[in-house]
Amino acid sequence: MQRRHALGAAVTGLAAAGCATTTAASATPFAVAQPVVPIAGGSEVFPVRRIYCIGRNYAAHAREMGSDPTREPPFFFQKPSDAVQFVAIGSTANHPYPPLTKNYHYELEPVAALHKGGKNVPVDKALDLVYGYAVGLDMTRRDLQRGMGDQKKPWEIGKSFDRSAPIGPIHRVAQVGHFTAGAITLKVNGQVRQDANLNQMIWSVAEQIAKLSEAFELMPGDIIFSGTPENVGPVVPGDLMEGSIAGLPLLSVKVVG
Ligand code: MN
């Protein structure tokens, strides 16, 4: 009876909060870790609520994926928040080759991290939501993504798996500003594979936030993988990926079998 009473109290607390999140007073039968990404230049960490990703945001990448890059509305998908794999500056993270795929692809992308939310956010206010930026990899089981797409099924299994979002520390806007241009370069084993400029994005980060906020209420803790340029390609165990974007510190990830 005691236990039942405690659960009832917890459920009442949830109902009062109006959404399915715990409060400090709520009892839970076990702990679930809050995914976080460290913030550069201090001891704070950024709590990750949702990971949104934008698809085909560079014309040349849209063409290589078989679509027409004329300005169609941007489209979005999500990864689970615990897909983040933090990669510290100056270190190389071991990234496990995931199961089920025979064609595992990198997609180097700038990531915007939000500290404010909103619905129907106008483009000219959208960057106010951004707390900072990080370098990220939208790792993709391309064969599974394509296979499901061909069958007109959701391609979540190709994108939204464990540790599919390696990410460096978040750099505050106060320190690094916003990025509308700058080199985005990925090397694999020292050879340049992706080499483009952020000014080639079809939809800017501000436009992405505005469009996203029409479909979802954005909240503090949301992060947005803002799309990859052309020349995505495969990696295999043993490969070293090194990503750099607009002068942010290098992201170094080794694929391990
Ligand atoms: Mn992507």
Assess whether 27 and 41 both reside in one domain: no
Assess whether 136 and 107 both reside in one domain: yes
Distance 110 CA to ligand 1 centre (A): 10
pLDDT of residue 18: 54
pLDDT of residue 110: 98
Distance 158 CA to ligand 1 centre (A): 11
Assess whether 88 and 150 both reside in one domain: yes
Rounded to 5 degrees, φ, ψ at 123 are -55, -40
pLDDT of residue 61: 87
Bridge-based pairing of strands 240-245 and 251-256 is: antiparallel
pLDDT along the chain (257 residues), means of 10: 40 48 81 97 97 93 84 89 98 98 98 98 98 98 96 96 98 95 97 97 96 98 97 97 96 98
pLDDT of residue 22: 66
Assess whether 251 and 175 both reside in one domain: yes
Distance 15 CA to ligand 1 centre (A): 36
Assess whether 146 and 107 both reside in one domain: yes
Distance 2 CA to ligand 1 centre (A): 49
Assess whether 221 and 116 both reside in one domain: yes
Distance 136 CA to ligand 1 centre (A): 10
Assess whether 21 and 116 both reside in one domain: no
Domain residue limits at 1 = 1-32
Q: Helix (H, G, I), strand (E, B), or coil: what is residue 140?
A: strand
What is the residue type of 74?
Answer: P
Distance 144 CA to ligand 1 centre (A): 15
Distance 3 CA to ligand 1 centre (A): 45
pLDDT of residue 247: 87
